[in-house]
Structure 1
Amino acid sequence: MPELPEVEVVRRGLARWVRGRTITSVDVLDPRSIRRHTLGTEDFVGNLENCTVLDVVRRGKFLWMPLQAEEPRRTGGAFEAMSNEALPAVALMAHLGMSGQLLMQDPDVPDERHLKVRLRLSRSDGMPEQLRFVDQRIFGGLFVTSLIPTPDGGPGGQGETPLPEIAEEASHIARDPLDPHFSFDDFYRKIKVRKTGLKRVLLDQGVISGIGNIYADEALWRARLHYAKPTDTLKRADALRVVDAAKEVMSDALSAGGTSFDSLYVNVNGDSGYFARSLDAYGRAGEPCRRCSALGLSGVIRREQFMNRSSYTCPVCQPKPRNGRW
Structure 2
Amino acid sequence: MAQAQMTETGNDDGNGDGRRGARFRRLWHRLRTDRGIWRRGIVLAVLAVLLGLLMALHESVPNRVGNFGSLLETFLPWLGVLVPVLLVLALVRRSATALIALLVPVLVWTDLFGGLLSDKTAEGGGDLTVATHNVNASNADPSGTARSIAAAGADVLALQELKASAVPTYENLLEPTYKYHAVVGTVGLWSKYPMSGVKAVDIRLGWKRAMRATIATPEGRLAVYVAHLPSVRVKLRAGFTARERDRSADALGDAIAHEKQSRIVLLADANGTMNDRALTAVTSQMRSTQGAVGSGFGFSWPASFPMARIDQIMVKGVKPVSSWTLPETGSDHLPIAASVELTGDGE
TM-score clears 0.5: no
More helix by share: 2
Higher radius of gyration, 1 or 2 = 2
Q: What TM-score do the two structures reach when normalised by structure 1?
A: 0.22
